[in-house]
Amino acid sequence: MGAGPRDERGDISALLLTAAGTTAPEELQRRARGLLCGFGLDDDAVEWITPDTLLRGVRRWQRAVGWVAGSSAALGLLLGAVSLAGMLLTGVRERVAEIGLRRALGARPHEIALLFVAEAAVLGLGAALLGLLGAGAVLLGQGARFPLPFHFGVGAWLIPLVLAGGIVILCSLGPAWQAARLPPAEALRNE
């Protein structure tokens, strides 16, 4: 047993208790609680810091960091989705003549829509893959600096790609639908 630092009144503000031999930590805590109660210190006046309470604190911090990181990632995905939708809408407006020519040559509306969805998928999944490779490089670099094990299963690599694919498809549906609805005569007249 070791006494910790003393406060301004000279009272002990911390005690370190270590179990010797085969004494269980819970048994040591029970005995110490009995001794402290003899001095008028009940559980309201004493804070017990055990490995379990330390682990709960670490897990609480991990959850907080997870929420912050997840919220940041969600915001990034939302901004990327809005940017992609805007870029695709601009592409539809700039390619009115091409869309009209394709329709005049026999392309059906769903083929025009599929063209825009495919372009968005290539852009979005390419960006997601580059982001994953960049994140992997950063984590490998940090893993070399800190002795913490970094292990990511297949799901940690596949889930972002699937999520990006879903977001890309959702964001491309509006512009693709707009491109597919363009009448060929009107599109060619704008040229």
Angle ∠(30,33,36) on CA atoms, nearest 5: 155
52 domain residue, yes or no:
no
Q: Is the pLDDT of residue 2 over 60?
A: no
**End-to-end C-alpha distance for the chain, whole angstroms:** 88
Q: Give me the number of domains the chain comprises.
A: 2
Local confidence band at 138 (pLDDT 50, 70, 90 cut-offs)? confident
150 domain residue, yes or no:
yes
Q: Domain residues for 26?
A: 2-38
Helices 51-94 and 154-180, interaxial angle, to 10°? 30
The pLDDT value recorded for residue 33 is 83
Concatenating the DSSP letter of every residue in 2-36 gives EE--B-TTS-B--EE----TT--HHHHHHHHHHHH
Q: Is the pLDDT of residue 183 over 90?
A: no
Mean residue pLDDT across the chain: 83
Which of the pair, 144 or 110, is modelled with greater confidence? 110
Q: What digits encode the pLDDT tens for the residues 74-100?
A: 898 889 889 989 999 998 889 888 888
49 domain residue, yes or no:
no
Please report, to the nearest 10 degrees, the dihedral formed by the alpha carbons of residues 42, 44, 47, 50 taken in order: 80
Please give the sequence-ordered ranges of beta strands (E in DSSP) within the chain, or none if there are none.
2-3, 15-16
Residue 27, token pair as written in the block: 């048994």
* SS3 label, residue 108: coil
Local confidence band at 187 (pLDDT 50, 70, 90 cut-offs)? low
For tokens 């390619």, the residue is 95
**105, 75: one domain:** yes
Model pTM above 0.75:
no
54 domain residue, yes or no:
no
